[in-house]
Amino acid sequence: MFFVGIDLAWSPRNNTGISISKGGEVVKLALVKSDEEIVNTVMEEISNKACWIAIDAPLTVPNANGSRPVDKLITRLFRSKHAGCYPANREILKKYGQGKLRGEEIVKLLKREGFEENPYAKPRSKTRVLFEVFPHPAIVELFSLDKILEYKARKGRTYEYRWKELDKYKKALASLADSEPPFTVPKELLKESKAIGRSLKNEEDLLDALLCNYLAYFHWYWGGKKSKVFGDLKSGHIVVPYLYQSVNNFLPTSSP
């Protein structure tokens, strides 16, 4: 059984991180750019096998502007942790995606390979499904954090500060080896970072892809028990693990 995490760049000019595991063992890490490269990288590794794919990108975006209902809901739930969503709408995403919505294009290509956009798939089923995830709320839930890890480039964040936050991220990911289900992160990605510029961004993209990879595995393993679908297939959805917050008490939670 394969699991895939895709940290999808909004623009094909930028690198997309891909992590592929067989169970909890990572078998492939890659940085690619085009939609075709993304799909080819996945298919070359998994062939015709069952696979669950978690993608960090808006996959269904019917709204021309503003935010999707699920983005507003996740922001409301996780605002205190600084883990709110960016506003996803067709106007913004087309601007970055050269006139197209990348998430929708990737879904189309993967559907041709037998995948279904279905976060409600039966847990531990040998199917080919894909769904949307968002790292920030997942990180605070999985690792019981008071707020997000601030490793991304933002105004006022020095390299020294980002390196420290990135090292916290690496230690958190390393701890997944003792989680249920267990997941082993390649040791070369756990070394202390002193990268800058594009090298640092590439490192972040691969770590986020690894997290998405684990979220695919986690949802397959725990779906409905410790992993929750917010939103719906029509207006947009996001799958979030829940372990330490009370997100399971919030309604509405959509069903297919």
Of 248 and 51, more confident:
51
Q: What is the pLDDT of residues 99-127, one digit of tens each?
A: 889 999 999 999 999 999 999 999 999 99
Q: For 133, which DSSP code?
A: B
pLDDT computed for residue 131 by the predictor: 98
Q: What are the residues facing 7 on neighbouring strands?
A: 17
Q: Give me the residue label for tokens 């189309």.
A: 108
Q: Are 8 and 57 in contact (CB under 8 A)?
A: yes
Rounded to 10 deg, the angle between the 135-142 and 197-222 helix axes is 60
How many whole angstroms separate alpha carbon 30 and alpha carbon 72?
Answer: 32
Q: What is the pLDDT of residues 189-199, one digit of tens each?
A: 999 989 999 99
**Residue 8 φ then ψ, to 5°:** -80, 120
Architecture per CATH, domain 2-245, reads as: 2-Layer Sandwich (3.30)
Query: Where along the chain do its domains lie?
Result: 2-245
CA angle 49-214-70, nearest 5°? 105
pLDDT class of 244 with cuts at 50, 70, 90 = low
How many whole angstroms separate alpha carbon 119 and alpha carbon 201?
Answer: 29
* Assigned token pair, 30: 């890659």
Q: What is the pLDDT of residues 158-198, one digit of tens each?
A: 999 999 999 999 999 999 999 999 999 999 999 998 999 99
DSSP β-ladder status, 128-132 and 51-55? parallel
In angstroms, what is the C-alpha Rg of the chain?
A: 17
Nearest to 19 by CA among 48, 44, 42: 42
